[in-house]
């Protein structure tokens, strides 16, 4: 089989790239290790920057997002029993949209099926070969049958644990990483959100976040030690701990209920450089991971895809390779700014026991300064709603 671009990974990054290339008249085949049902059911991010929403419109999959997504013009930071609002739209003219990654994936999968574009699910033993030559290829098995795809280029959208980055020789890649000593315990419940906007909480017992997926479905998170197990947290314990960290007014409004999903996500900051290796291009989590505090993971993947789709389009329409040559530097410039903001916000809101009382006093001083400075709030809002492409 031959194609112009072989995309490894059918998560949002791979599916969005495939959709943008299809609309540009570029043939692309997607190869995914998991089943279609597994991919669609994964529960991940739920906040889209305005630029990401606009890109989904460009891809022709924004109709349901615009109809069902919850537009947020602000958010709240809470500490010392008080809540303080940052007006994102007033400060930047931009907003964010709550629309779950599961829904984004569903929209993209339906669009790909409607286009009749080829996707191989449940692909075993995926290998990316000869990507430093002019004739890269992908080999894999489906139901024990060996298949091969010859391509002009390979796009590695297969996540942090995927085969693409792992196939790059160690001497050709540089990795920057920081692991955090805690995780996010998340719970999804069919209960009304405690607030119309997100609440980020800095508390002596640890960070908490109150968010949502819809007007009837809540998503809440608690900072917990990385050694904790989901089994250690029955629903009753989770709700009781969340209530302890909330201010009294918010705690009184909290509606609890049985969880429909519960998990612990480790936190890490990770970047690999470069993001291009011959005719192999990395995008999304294959190249970088951010702590979820700044809500940048899916949005960074979308910006990578935008840069890559533009570069492929210029190559096939005009034989212009400048976009491909500039892809890694262009993507990494935005990646590092998002890494900085996510790291800063994680440091600001989470409990770092090793930093003691001095560290806590620095957090409180920073929070007080942020809410007392229009300039600081504007910088926060610019980063949170998404830096320019």
Whether the CB-CB separation of 224 and 264 falls below 8 Å is answered with yes
Query: Nearest to residue 36, comparing CAs of 112, 88, 96, 93?
Result: 112
**Dihedral angle sign, alpha carbons of residues 328, 329, 331, 336:** positive
The CA-based dihedral angle spanning residues 292, 293, 295, 301, taken in that order and rounded to the nearest 10 degrees: -40
- From 99, 220, 292, 327, active-site residue: 292
State the SS3 of 191-249: CCCCCCCCEEEECCCCCEEEEECCCCCEEEEEEEECCCCHHHCCHHHHHHHHHHHCCHH
- From 136, 296, 315, 350, active-site residue: 296
Q: How far is CA 278 from CA 90, 166, 258, 328, in A?
A: 44, 15, 50, 11
- From 12, 22, 72, 99, active-site residue: 72
Q: Are strands 28-31 and 2-8 parallel, antiparallel or unpaired?
A: parallel
- From 200, 221, 315, 327, active-site residue: 200
Q: Is 38 part of the annotated catalytic residue set? A: no
Q: Is 200 part of the annotated catalytic residue set? A: yes
Within 8 A by CB and 6+ apart from 146, the residues are 139, 140
Whether the CB-CB separation of 192 and 218 falls below 8 Å is answered with yes
Which residues on adjacent β-strands are paired with residue 268?
Answer: 179
Residue 163: φ, ψ to 5° = -80, -25
Q: Is 296 part of the annotated catalytic residue set? A: yes
Active-site annotation, residues: 72, 200, 292, 296, 384
């Amino acid at each position: 089989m031959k194609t112009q671009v072989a995309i490894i990974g059918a998560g949002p990054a791979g599916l969005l790239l495939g959709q943008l290339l299809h609309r540009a008249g570029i043939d692309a085949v997607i190869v995914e290790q998991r089943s279609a049902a597994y991919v669609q059911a994964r529960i991940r991010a739920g906040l889209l920057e305005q630029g990401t929403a606009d890109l989904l419109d460009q891809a022709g999959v924004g109709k349901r997002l615009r109809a069902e997504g919850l537009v947020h013009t602000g958010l709240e930071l809470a500490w010392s029993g008080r809540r303080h609002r940052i007006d994102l739209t007033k400060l930047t003219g931009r907003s964010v949209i709550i629309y779950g990654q599961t829904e984004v994936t569903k929209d993209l999968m339906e669009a790909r099926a409607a286009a009749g574009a080829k996707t191989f699910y449940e692909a075993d033993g995926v290998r990316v070969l000869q990507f430093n030559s002019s004739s890269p290829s992908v080999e894999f098995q489906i139901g024990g049958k060996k298949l091969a795809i010859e391509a002009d280029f390979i796009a590695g959208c297969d996540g942090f644990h995927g085969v693409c980055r792992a196939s790059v020789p160690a001497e050709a890649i540089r990795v920057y990483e920081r692991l955090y000593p805690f995780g996010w315990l998340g719970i999804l419940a069919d209960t009304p959100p405690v607030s119309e906007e997100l609440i980020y909480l800095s508390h002596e017992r640890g960070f908490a976040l109150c968010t949502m997926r819809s007007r009837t479905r809540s998503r809440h998170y608690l900072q917990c030690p990385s050694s904790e197990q989901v089994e250690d947290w029955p629903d009753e314990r989770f709700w009781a701990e969340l209530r302890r960290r909330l201010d009294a007014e918010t705690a009184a409004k909290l509606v609890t209920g049985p969880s429909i999903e519960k998990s612990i996500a480790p936190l890490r900051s990770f970047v690999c450089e470069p993001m291009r290796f011959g005719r192999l291009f990395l995008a999304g989590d294959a190249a970088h991971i951010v702590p979820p505090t700044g809500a940048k993971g899916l949005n960074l993947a979308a910006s990578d895809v935008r840069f890559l789709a533009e570069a492929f389009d210029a190559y096939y329409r005009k034989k212009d390779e400048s976009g491909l040559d500039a892809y890694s530097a262009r993507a990494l410039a935005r990646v590092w700014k998002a890494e900085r903001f996510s790291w800063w916000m994680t440091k600001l809101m989470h409990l770092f026991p090793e930093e003691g009382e001095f560290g806590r006093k620095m957090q409180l001083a920073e929070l007080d300064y942020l809410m007392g400075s229009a300039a600081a709030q504007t910088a926060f809002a610019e980063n949170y709603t998404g830096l320019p492409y």
